[in-house]
Amino acid sequence: MSEQPRKENRGQLFVISAPSGAGKTSLVRALMERSNTVGVAISHTTRAKRPEETDGIDYHFVPEVEFNALVDRGEFLESATVFEHLYGTSASAVNLILHQGKHLILEIDWQGAAQVRQKLPGTQSIFIFPPSLGALRDRLENRAQDDVETVDKRMSAAFEELSHWHEFDYLIVNDQFDTALAQLQAVVAGEGADYHRNRQFRALGHLIEDLLPQ
More confident residue, 21 or 167: 167
Q: Supply the pTM of this predicted model.
A: 0.87
Question: For 111, phi and psi rounded to 5 degrees?
Answer: -65, -50
Strand segments (E) across the chain: 13-17, 38-40, 44-45, 60-61, 76-82, 85-90, 103-107, 124-129, 170-173
pLDDT at 147 over 90: no
- Residue at 130: amino acid letter: P
DSSP track, 37-82: SEEEPPPEE-SPPPTT--BTTTBEE--HHHHHHHHHTT-EEEEEEE
Indicate if the alpha-carbon torsion angle 63, 160, 140, 27 is positive or negative: negative
pLDDT at 4 over 90: no
Of the candidates 153, 127, 132, 111, the one whose C-alpha atom is nearest the C-alpha of residue 212 is: 132
pLDDT digits (tens, 9 = 90+) for 43-76: 999 999 988 899 998 899 999 999 999 999 999 9
pLDDT at 7 over 50: no
Of the candidates 101, 140, 102, 98, the one whose C-alpha atom is nearest the C-alpha of residue 120 is: 98
pLDDT recorded at residue 5: 43
The pLDDT confidence band at residue 144, using thresholds 50, 70 and 90, is low
Fold type of domain 13-41+102-211: Rossmann fold (3.40.50)
Of the listed ranges 3-17, 37-51, 110-124, 132-146, the least confidently predicted one is 3-17
pLDDT recorded at residue 1: 41
Provide the 10 A C-beta neighbour count for residue 201: 13
- Residue at 117: amino acid letter: R
Residues 176 and 174: their CA atoms lie apart, in Å, by: 6
pLDDT digits (tens, 9 = 90+) for 74-114: 999 999 888 889 999 999 999 999 999 999 999 999 999 99
Of the candidates 78, 77, 74, 47, the one whose C-alpha atom is nearest the C-alpha of residue 60 is: 47
Residues 29 and 143: their CA atoms lie apart, in Å, by: 16
Question: For 60, phi and psi rounded to 5 degrees?
Answer: -95, 105
pLDDT at 197 over 90: yes
